[in-house]
Amino acid sequence: MSESRTRPIPARPACDGRAQDDLDALVALLAVNAAGVDRTACFPEENLAALRSAGYLGFLIPRRYGGMGRDLADLVTVAQRLAGACLSTAMIWAMHCQQADVLVRHAGPRLAAELLPRVAAGEVYLASVTTGTVTGGHLLSAADALERGIEEEILLRREAPVVTGGEHADGFLITMRDTAHADGHAVSLVYADRDALTVEATGGWNTLGMRGTASGALKLSGAVPPDQVVGPPGGFREVALDSMIPVGHLAWSACWLGAARSSFSALLRWLSREQRERLSSPLVHERLGRIRLDLELVSGYLGGVRQEVERVRADRSRPDSAEVQIHLNSLKTAASELTYQAVDRMVQLAGLAVGYGTDSPVPLERTLRDLRSAALNYSNDRLWTANGALCLLDRGVTLL
Ligand SMILES: Cc1cc2nc3c(=O)[nH]c(=O)nc-3n(C[C@H](O)[C@H](O)[C@H](O)COP(=O)(O)OP(=O)(O)OC[C@H]3O[C@@H](n4cnc5c(N)ncnc54)[C@H](O)[C@@H]3O)c2cc1C
């Protein structure tokens, strides 16, 4: 879909005119490249280069390190706009920002001083390695263990079955079991520059959707200094609850919403232009109303959870409280299901040629395939069962 047909999400006051122009140009580039990225299942190198040169890899890096110093509200706004053009690229960027937030909040002083200016300058695109061949998607466990070398350096060897942009990344945040004798839940998060690692591609990425994320399998091995453990050794849970989970769920949900919203806008324009005779149909109105409701609910809940995360951060209150966890997990499950449902409804409303066709002027078919990944990208099954257990700890039912 051409971005010129999509009404832009308004800039927040923090955006100056130059920043808005940069964002408009990025969105236009992503929109032009989106179909090719999907068709070829190739990593969107041109899009990443443009994000680098516009300073967008430093989006969440504080200004004192040379970054853009933007906040979570900006993150969800911009993620929506980028995703309205190309969901693969938006998720690549969103996951990079998630890793950047982890480093800002938890890297030790030497690592922060050396690495954050490089991220801000666009030199370091960050990939995430949390999924394991043994542990699957379970975030808070790891099987591959760290070893300590004779000069105190940390040695790592990691099988990584799914790494978005792994072959293009300049740095990796990797979960590892803290020692060979440690319990699988004693997980350490380690930062490694690509130059410190041998990176071997062990599996490709040829999927139904999200084809441009190039999330193939890697085998990583190398050595890093001991102060490149991010957060407490064996204490990744703290980092995950404070940063990786909240920023991940906010940013992913924003991406999915942006993709569905942009498709809806394109569909409404197509209906108004090409299907005028259907515009008075009560059936069409009912279907439009239901799609709109799905998007309204995700948007409202996204805003509410974002404010709650900001409050937790401002008050330094506990990010691991049952209700905060329930709200974060509910956001991810609701956004993944409702945005997919909304686009599925759009396919039905548009009909065979425009709804289901690959050459349609409204790319619903691609968006539907892309959004089918949302419930898998950190399995909703894990979040439903986690939320059920957490409900038993919040008997007062603290709703958002
Ligand atoms: C587009 C995309 C990008 C990704 N990028 C990355 C990345 O950059 N880095 C990374 O590390 N990972 C990445 N992942 C992987 C992701 O984080 C998850 O680990 C992965 O999608 C989970 O795979 P799975 O469906 O096999 O589920 P898993 O969580 O591995 O679970 C395995 C199976 O167990 C089932 N299950 C779960 N809970 C229960 C239960 N309570 N009872 C019974 N069965 C259960 C699940 O339904 C599933 O079928 C990405 C995934 C996608 C789709």
Answer whether 164 contacts ligand 1 (Cβ < 6 A). Answer: yes
In a domain, 92, yes or no: yes
Answer whether 336 contacts ligand 1 (Cβ < 6 A). Answer: no
User: pLDDT 10s per residue in the chain (400 long)?
Assistant: 333 333 444 444 445 677 888 999 999 999 999 999 999 999 999 999 999 999 999 999 999 999 999 999 999 999 999 999 999 999 999 999 999 999 999 999 999 999 999 999 999 999 999 999 999 999 999 999 999 988 889 999 999 999 999 999 999 999 999 999 999 999 999 999 999 999 999 999 999 999 999 999 999 999 999 999 999 999 999 999 999 999 999 999 999 999 999 999 999 999 999 999 999 999 999 999 999 999 999 999 999 999 999 999 999 888 899 999 999 999 999 999 999 999 999 999 999 999 999 999 999 999 999 999 999 999 999 999 999 999 999 999 999 9
In a domain, 23, yes or no: yes
Q: Check residue 2 and give its pLDDT.
A: 37
Domain at 220, CATH number: 2.40.110.10
Ligand 1 center to residue 139 CA distance, Å?
9
Answer whether 245 contacts ligand 1 (Cβ < 6 A). Answer: no
User: How would you classify residue 378: left for phi > 0, otherwise alpha for psi between -120 and 50, otherwise beta?
Assistant: left
- Continuous H helices in 185-281: 236-239, 245-274
Identify whether residues 363 and 266 lie together within a single domain.
Answer: yes
Domain at 72, CATH number: 1.10.540.10
Domain at 325, CATH number: 1.20.140.10
Both structure tokens of 291: 């799609």
Answer whether 358 contacts ligand 1 (Cβ < 6 A). Answer: no
Identify whether residues 387 and 240 lie together within a single domain.
Answer: yes
Identify whether residues 95 and 200 lie together within a single domain.
Answer: no
Ligand 1 center to residue 367 CA distance, Å?
20
In a domain, 76, yes or no: yes
Q: With H, G, I as helix, E, B as strand and everything else as coil, classify residue 377.
A: coil
Ligand 1 center to residue 191 CA distance, Å?
22
Identify whether residues 214 and 358 lie together within a single domain.
Answer: no
State if pTM tops 0.75. Answer: yes
Euclidean distance between CA atoms 72 and 79, whole angstroms: 10
How many residues does this entry show for the chain? 400
Beta-ladder partners of 189: 175, 230
Decide which of 59, 89, 120 is a domain's last residue: 120
Identify whether residues 263 and 355 lie together within a single domain.
Answer: yes
Identify whether residues 62 and 142 lie together within a single domain.
Answer: no
Q: Name the residue of 37, 215, 218 whose CB sits within 8 Å of the most ligand 1 atoms, as the mutation to test its pocket.
A: 215
Q: Check residue 179 and give its pLDDT.
A: 94
Decide which of 230, 247, 272 is a domain's last residue: 230
Identify whether residues 286 and 209 lie together within a single domain.
Answer: no
Answer whether 90 contacts ligand 1 (Cβ < 6 A). Answer: no
Q: Name the residue of 99, 131, 247 whose CB sits within 8 Å of the most ligand 1 atoms, as the mutation to test its pocket.
A: 131
Find how far residue 246's CA is from the centre of its chain: 11
Beta-ladder partners of 197: 222
Identify whether residues 72 and 163 lie together within a single domain.
Answer: no
In a domain, 104, yes or no: yes
Both structure tokens of 21: 């122009």
Identify whether residues 8 and 116 lie together within a single domain.
Answer: yes
Answer whether 378 contacts ligand 1 (Cβ < 6 A). Answer: yes
Residue 11 DSSP code: P
Identify whether residues 156 and 258 lie together within a single domain.
Answer: no
Considering only CA atoms, which of 57, 79, 187, 210 is closest in space to residue 131? 187
Q: 344 is in which domain, residue-wise?
A: 236-391
Q: Check residue 11 and give its pLDDT.
A: 40
Q: Check residue 4 and give its pLDDT.
A: 36
Identify whether residues 387 and 241 lie together within a single domain.
Answer: yes
Q: How many domains does the chain have?
A: 3
Q: Check residue 324 and give its pLDDT.
A: 97
Ligand 1 center to residue 385 CA distance, Å?
14
Answer whether 141 contacts ligand 1 (Cβ < 6 A). Answer: no
Ligand 1 center to residue 164 CA distance, Å?
13
In a domain, 396, yes or no: no
Rounded (10°) angle between helices 87-106 and 245-274: 160
Both structure tokens of 56: 């967008």
Q: Tell which atom from ligand 1 comes closest to the C-alpha of 385.
A: 41
In a domain, 241, yes or no: yes
List the residue whose alpha carbon is closest to atom 47 of ligand 1: 381
In a domain, 267, yes or no: yes
Identify whether residues 89 and 138 lie together within a single domain.
Answer: no
Characterize the bridge pairing of strands 126-129 and 171-177.
Answer: parallel
Q: Tell which atom from ligand 1 comes closest to the C-alpha of 135.
A: 30
Q: Tell which atom from ligand 1 comes closest to the C-alpha of 127.
A: 8
Q: How do residues 78-97 score in pLDDT, each as one tens digit?
A: 999 999 999 999 999 999 99
Q: Check residue 151 and give its pLDDT.
A: 83
Decide which of 120, 139, 158 is a domain's last residue: 120
In a domain, 397, yes or no: no
Q: Check residue 9 and give its pLDDT.
A: 40
Answer whether 320 contacts ligand 1 (Cβ < 6 A). Answer: no
